[in-house]
Chain A
Amino acid sequence: MSPDAAAQVVLELRGVRKQFTSGGRTLTALRGVSLGVGRGRVTGLIGPDGAGKTTLMRLSVGLLVPDEGQITALGHDTARDPLAVQSSVGYMPQRFGLYEDLTVQENLDLYSDLQGVAAADRAGRYGELMHMTGLARFTGRLAGRLSGGMKQKLGLACTLVRPPQLLLLDEPTVGVDPVSRRELWQIVYRLVREHAMTVLLSTAYLDEAERCDDIVLLHEGEILGKGRPGEFREPLRGRTFSARAPAIGKRAFQKALSAVPGVLDAVIQADRVRVVAREGATDIPGQIARAFAGSTAEAVEPRLEDAFVALLLGRGEARAGAGPLPARAAPAAGTPHRPAAFPGPVIEVRDVSRKFGDFYAVRRATFDVAQGEVFGLLGPNGAGKSTTFRMLCGLLPPSAGTLRVAGLDLRHAASAARARIGYMSQKFSLYGNLSVLENLRFFSSAYDLFGRRQDGRIAWALGEFGLAEYVSMTSQDLSLGHKQRLAMACALMHEPDILFLDEPTSGVDPIARREFWSRINALAEGGVTILVTTHFMEEAEYCDRLAIMADGEVLTIGDPASIKRGQRSEAMPEPSMEDAFIGLIERRARGAEAA
């Protein structure tokens, strides 16, 4: 932070510690955090789930009291004078408390009453807010019937009825469609520019962090780094490359690159592999070109994600001593199981629609997935991804159209099809009070595994997923990353030919996400067909092909590179996946208007 900004700190935390105790377990959410938020700046609080972001926000508005340390917001001590803080700070919790059975207008009126906005000021303020959020047409609608993006914008409007000097936003963009997400960011910047507001917002999306003035990286209750985005990227300059080897499959290439000694991180990005070199490693492009025939590698601008992964990995290596990182050493052995070759598409979706009442959750979706393919469904909450998944698992019959999985029609042979499917749900669906071993035993028995075969699979799962040392721990006590490993192990116990993953990585840190994807890649290489939903734009790049969905419709299907290419324009020569997504949605809106 620059000295002039430091002079005007509006929110300051000094040595803040916070612990929670529940059911005899003590969880340390923040371990000695010190931090200053400069006036008139947008500060991003970045970190995976469980990093302590929400606790920090709640402490800052006096909803929690720190065990140690002190917090000052706008000159008030948050522990001693919470009411003064709450009268001058705006805070939007993660799930903003909109009253869903009240209309947009009634919600605004309620918060104006609570915030003490004078009746004379209201009309002007409402007009401004409704214009800014684009909700003017919906003031009579019940808040519960707004889309996810509109709800977030209404939540923001309610927080802003009395313009606060300091605005705290807890994960305002989670699950929101990219268009609304972009609009939310525009609103935030307008507030900062026109009203000299100070904003502290938390997010799990690293691409959003790039838009902040300052970044605070929080990990397991500690600050790993703070500064401007450029300051994080700077040490990585000259260490990031984009490699391509048309002769080798991208997954095999990525795996091989991970093993190159000078390479710290390698991730798939559409048809290329992004490489981050270790500190001090030289001539990575040359090494790559020599090692892989026909390959090319060029230097690219570092991204924040590269910087964070380098930070996290560096920290992990420092902890583990000189030894290799457990996260990187564990996976990628692949399953011994190789599905028999299957002619034709493994998953066939033809003109499938699903109606709930007169509402189409999915409308005329058509796509195929070939064996060994990683196929992604990308879209915001409410796009129809989960409905499509449930239909493919045979849990929900389609209203129209046909679905075939491994050649079996789900209308007639749902249970036969299910035996060949592994399913990992968003919430991981583990039995929290059963141990790791008991979870594995239960899920394998649910798939008719018993006796020596069951023991064999359990031994495999414990070894493959590095869970052996946690065998007797109850699964609710595992870290999120380990829960994810266990959930995946449970889904793989019966050696399925097809794996369905419903937002498998939401909330886990980038390292666990990489580890997860390397397993997925190994499975795909072994011939397992993978269908995955995500709202992480960068994860979409890992897929062979993807379908972009919005409002129940498939907007486009293709490989990541060609989807992005399709949205190229003069204004945007190199569109990101998010740009492409927004372009597709806007084009559809224009089409709807023309029709």
Chain B
Amino acid sequence: MNAGSGMRLRGLLRKELYQVLRDPSSVAIAFLLPVFLLLIFGYGISLDAEHVPVAVVIEQPDADTASLAGRFSGTSYFAPVFMGDMVRAEAALRDRSVNAIVHLQQDFSKRLRRPDGAPIQLIVNGTDANTARLVIGYVQGVWQKWIEELGDESGVSAAVPVSIEQRVWFNSELRSRNYLVPGLIAIIMTLIGALLTALVMAREWERGTMEALLVTPVTMGEVLVGKLVPYFLLGLGSMALSVAMGLWLFRVPFLGSVWVLSCVSALYLLAALGMGLLISTLARNQFVAGMVAIVATFLPAFLLSGFIFDIGSMPAVVQAITRVLPARYFVSSLQTLFLAGNVWSVILPNAAALAVFAILFLGASRRMLRKRLD
């Protein structure tokens, strides 16, 4: 790098800095959007079911049913409404004032101590499949626990041959927030790396500033670095903000080490910047660049990275597609770093994949960015 190159680069970097500072939309995407997204996902959206309204129908109240009913009242998962007959309960399910009905029939206590046990009927509103599954699981849990304890008290093992001892590893509180927040960081970095960068490059084409840049002695490598460095720093800054919010506002545990987090994030950011720059070499106006960036980077990162939807439960074809998404490797690294710590067997392959993507996208945009207009 010669003196002229250093001077040109300094000029480009200073220009970009002024532009970022003076452009409210860059600041908004880098710092307001992360806060906004984190608040929505941190407070607004939870994939856990809590205080689910459930109708508990007890046709013949006695000591046993009262004991079981107490279990439903005692857990924070349910907000039980006790009823005496199914007619009312069904009406409540239909008008959606309850999500499920737990039906204890008249002969419940009688059959309870027989070898084949007492059945309970569970009717769940399956409209929201996720909540429905959770409710089924919770009801089974409550039921099972109650039966076990009943057996312990009476010395007779009730109709449960095997008892399951549950232990949850990594995110032992089972709070969805704990894995949503790390995933969100990946989404935010995608927005800054790909969307913001694609937009600012396209803006240069649109406003004709690129043509004026191209006829100066500047090289395309310098133009590329001039864009890369500022948005790389901006991305890291916004990641630091998101991590800080995650740790101190949402109390998400962080078991990994900060420097591993920084390295993996830097790799992902380079890959995202590479995608953004590549898009802007193909789409030279802001509208198209923005649309392409959202469809090609943001939406896949949102839907297919394992941020919300588990990749393991996707169809094989979709799973194959997720393999070419950098976000997938980053989300996996982040969730591991936050909830499990420096698990090298997960982190290293992911980091390697991210490095490959970064080299691929940056290399491609370097090749595509020629000092030409056609």
Contacts and interface: CB of A to CB of B under 8 A. Distances in A.
Interface of A: 20, 58, 61-65, 82-83, 86-87, 89, 91-102, 106, 109-116, 155, 158
A98 B215 contact: no
Nearest to A115: B216
> How many B residues are at the interface, by size bracket?
20 to 34
Interface in B277-300: none
10 closest cross-chain pairs (CB), A and B: A113-B11, A97-B212, A97-B209, A95-B208, A114-B216, A91-B215, A87-B217, A116-B4, A93-B211, A101-B22
Given A65-B372, A114-B8, A114-B11, 18 more contacts: A63-B214, A63-B372, A64-B373, A86-B214, A87-B217, A93-B211, A95-B208, A97-B204, A99-B19, A102-B19, A109-B11, A110-B12, A111-B216, A113-B7, A113-B8, A113-B11, A114-B216, A114-B218
A93 B212 contact: yes
A116 B215 contact: no
Contacts of B19: 99, 101-102
Contacts of A100: 207
A98 B210 CA distance: 10
A83 B373 contact: no
Contacts of B15: 99, 102, 106, 110
A183 B370 CA distance: 36
A83 B217 contact: yes
A114 B208 contact: no
B371 A82 contact: yes
A101 B18 contact: yes
B65 interface: no
B283 to A, nearest CB: 14
Contact of B211 (A62, A63, A99): A63
A183 B242 CA distance: 53
Contacts of A96: 208, 212
A97 B210 contact: yes
Nearest to B213: A97
Contacts of A97: 204, 207-213
A489 to B, nearest CB: 30
Given A99-B19, A109-B11, A114 B217 contact: yes
B201 to A, nearest CB: 13
Contact of B11 (A63, A83, A112): A112
Contact of A64 (B7, B10, B372): B372
Contacts of B18: 101-102, 106
Nearest to A91: B215
A82 B7 CA distance: 20
Contacts of B7: 113, 116
B216 A86 contact: yes
Contacts of A114: 8, 11-12, 213, 216-218
B207 A95 contact: yes
21 contacts: A58-B373, A61-B215, A63-B215, A64-B373, A65-B372, A83-B217, A83-B219, A87-B217, A93-B215, A96-B208, A97-B210, A98-B212, A99-B19, A101-B19, A102-B18, A110-B15, A111-B216, A112-B11, A114-B8, A115-B217, A116-B8
Contact of A113 (B10, B204, B208, B209): B10
A83 B8 CA distance: 14
Interface string B319-341: 00000000000000000000000
Main secondary structure of the interface of B (DSSP, over half): helix
Contacts of A62: 371
A97 B373 CA distance: 14
Contact of A63 (B12, B22, B209, B373): B373
A89 B216 contact: no
Nearest to B23: A101
Contacts of A110: 11-12, 14-15
A118 B208 CA distance: 26
B374 interface: yes
Contacts of B4: 116
Given A96-B208, A98-B209, A89 B215 contact: yes
B67 to A, nearest CB: 71
A115 B218 CA distance: 8
Interface in B1-53: 4, 7-8, 10-12, 14-15, 18-19, 22-23
A101 B217 CA distance: 23
Contacts of A116: 4, 7-8, 217
A61 B374 CA distance: 13
Contacts of B8: 113-114, 116
Contact of B208 (A64, A93, A101): A93
Contacts of A94: 208
Contacts of A95: 207-208
Contacts of A58: 373
A527 to B, nearest CB: 44
Given A97-B208, A101-B18, A102-B19, A64 B217 contact: no
Contacts of A86: 214-217
Among A63, A87, A100, A110: residue with most chain B CB under 10 A: A110
A100 B4 CA distance: 25
A64 B207 CA distance: 19
Contacts of B12: 110, 113-114
A109 B11 CA distance: 7
Nearest to B7: A113
A158 B215 CA distance: 12
A58 to B, nearest CB: 6
A111 B218 CA distance: 10
Nearest to A96: B212
Contacts of A83: 217, 219, 371
